[in-house]
Amino acid sequence: LKHGAKSTDIVIVKNFENLTEFGKKTMKKLMEVGIHILVEYSQKNINMVETLNVVSGDGGGDSGGDGGGDSGGDSGGDSGSESGDGNGTESGDGNGTESGDGNGTESVGENGTKSVGGNGSNKPQLINNILFYTDLNNIQNMLKNKNIIKDYALILNGKEDIKDIENIKKLTPTPLFILLKPENIYEHILVTRRFNQILQSLNIDIPYIHYFNINSKNYDDIIVDAALYLGTCLVDLMGEGVIINVTSDVNLDNINDSSNSAKPTENISSKVALNSFLTLNILQDARIRLFKTDYISCPSCGRTLFNIQETTKKIMKLTGHLKGVKIAVMGCIVNGIGEMADAHFGYVGSAPKKIDLYYGKELVERNIPEDEACDKLIELIKKHGKWEDP
């Protein structure tokens, strides 16, 4: 929550029927800031929803998104993920919440949304923030409960028959989004490609979120699995979000969330934090959701005209709190200008100990002494309204 929750963020909660009183308070707090709670459809969970104390009023919020919509969660869990599927998550799908019992989820992009709840609803505001999810076997039973079900999610493994997927269009109402959860991670890309092609061929315009379990106990393996199987899909524009659930106990003692912030980094002390770290960074690198400053830096070569490693660290320390700002640090003007990609600001070596500054692709100041260049960069960021005090 301290990083800023969105009304399109979602927390998936398993074992919802077993919420403690502390867990109920956590759920209510999450809903009060606009987060949506996603719960598996069952009579026990319906009964639990009815026990929650809620406020009256019109609910609503946005969730999902055809080209991106933000769908993620900022709640936590004892062994879940920020954008994950596990035991509680900051944005994930897990069991339990950091302050409570749940599994959370995080994720999704920023282009386009679908409405959840809505101003015309007579349901209390916080109840509008609870969505149910189910599979194809139970969907018709769930939809009969019109007093409870307004918006919902459908969970699939991606191997369903084409006819079954086509029948999704006949559901009334159609799902707000789909949770795509293949049976194992090694077939995730293949299953996603098949599923994505089927949706396109059937003109089904329902966003889907990757629901991803990682069973490894080794941190490096977890990083590789998450980046490879999820990152590949997102870079190919398949899916609008990510749910990560690290299911095994991992040695987290020496893992830090290097958010490039000017503030000291915080230890990743739980699965919730680990899942959050993985999910948000994958979404950031896939350009689906920017939650921190984005840096583009060349690896250095014989043409580099300043100490690019130390300079990059210095710039990251000064600007790491600027959410969504893209800064390129390039060693020379030979390749630097072309490699800045879509950066808002560019810091490029032009001569020994001299720096050129760019706004987009436009050269705005030339041959600045290196010891003055960082201050000049900050002035440029302020000039264009992208600066915020740490």
DSSP 6-42: -TT-EEEESSGGG--HHHHHHHHHHHHTTPEEEEE--
Q: Are residues 245 and 360 in the same domain?
A: no
Q: Which residues contact 2 (CB under 8 A, 6 or more apart)?
A: none
Name the residue with higher pLDDT: 266 or 232: 232
Q: Are residues 109 and 59 in the same domain?
A: yes
Flag whether pLDDT at 128 surpasses 90: no
Q: Cα separation of 179 and 174, whole Å?
A: 14
Choose the weakest-confidence range: 40-54, 146-160, 239-253, 256-270. Answer: 256-270
Contact 76, 88 (CB under 8 A): yes
Answer whether residue 3 is part of any domain: no
Contact 74, 91 (CB under 8 A): yes
Encode pLDDT of 251-261 as tens digits. 655 554 444 44
Flag whether pLDDT at 179 surpasses 50: yes
Q: Are strands 93-94 and 130-134 parallel, antiparallel or unpaired?
A: unpaired
Answer whether residue 4 is part of any domain: no
Q: Are residues 369 and 332 in the same domain?
A: yes
Q: Which residues contact 112 (CB under 8 A, 6 or more apart)?
A: 65, 66, 67, 68, 69
Cα 260 to chain centroid distance, Å, stands at 18
Q: Are residues 248 and 304 in the same domain?
A: no
CA-based Rg of the chain, rounded to a whole angstrom?
22
Range with top average pLDDT, 36-45, 70-79, 258-267, 298-307: 36-45
Q: Are residues 142 and 108 in the same domain?
A: yes
Tokens standing for 378? 């900050």
Q: Cα separation of 71 and 173, whole Å?
A: 19
Please compute the mean of the pLDDT values over residues 327-348 and round it to a whole number: 86
If one counts every other C-beta atom within 10 angstroms of the C-beta of residue 205, the result is 11
Answer whether residue 357 is part of any domain: yes
Q: Are residues 76 and 14 in the same domain?
A: yes
User: Please, how many CA atoms are within 13 Å of residue 57, restricted to the half-sphere of its CB?
Assistant: 8
Q: Cα separation of 108 and 70, whole Å?
A: 5
Torsion of CA 72, 4, 27, 64, to 10 degrees: -30
Flag whether pLDDT at 91 surpasses 50: no
Q: Cα separation of 336 and 274, whole Å?
A: 34
Range with top average pLDDT, 214-218, 222-226, 318-322: 318-322
Please compute the mean of the pLDDT values over residues 273-287 and round it to a whole number: 81
Please compute the mean of the pLDDT values over residues 341-347 and round it to a whole number: 90
Q: Are residues 199 and 65 in the same domain?
A: yes
Tokens standing for 312? 């990059």
Please compute the mean of the pLDDT values over residues 293-303 and round it to a whole number: 84
Answer whether residue 2 is part of any domain: no
Q: Cα separation of 76 and 37, whole Å?
A: 12
Last residue of a domain, one of 285, 309, 341: 285
Q: Are residues 367 and 250 in the same domain?
A: no
CA-based nearest residue to 350, from 362, 360, 365: 365
Answer whether residue 216 is part of any domain: yes
Last residue of a domain, one of 263, 285, 307: 285
Name 349's bridge partners.
Answer: 355
Q: Please state the length of the chain.
A: 390
If one counts every other C-beta atom within 10 angstroms of the C-beta of residue 156, the result is 21
Phi, then psi, of 186 in degrees rounded to 5 = -70, -20
Q: Are residues 213 and 332 in the same domain?
A: no
If one counts every other C-beta atom within 10 angstroms of the C-beta of residue 4, the result is 10
Q: Are residues 224 and 342 in the same domain?
A: no
- Residue 340 domain boundaries: 294-383
Last residue of a domain, one of 285, 312, 345: 285
User: Please, how many CA atoms are within 13 Å of residue 39, restricted to the half-sphere of its CB?
Assistant: 30
Choose the weakest-confidence range: 201-215, 222-236, 329-343. Answer: 329-343
Phi, then psi, of 144 in degrees rounded to 5 = -70, -25
CA-based nearest residue to 291, from 320, 265, 260, 324: 324
Tokens standing for 217? 């106990």
Answer whether residue 126 is part of any domain: yes
Contact 292, 260 (CB under 8 A): yes
Whichever domain contains 328, its CATH number is: 3.30.413.10
- pLDDT-derived band at 2 (thresholds 50, 70, 90) equals low
Cα-based distances in Å from 211 to 4, 172, 214, 248, 326: 23, 24, 10, 16, 28
Q: Are residues 224 and 265 in the same domain?
A: yes
% of the chain with per-residue pLDDT over 90: 35
What is the count of structural domains for the chain? 2
Tokens standing for 84? 């994950």
Q: Are residues 234 and 192 in the same domain?
A: yes
Q: Which residues contact 220 (CB under 8 A, 6 or more apart)?
A: none
Flag whether pLDDT at 132 surpasses 60: yes
Contact 81, 268 (CB under 8 A): no
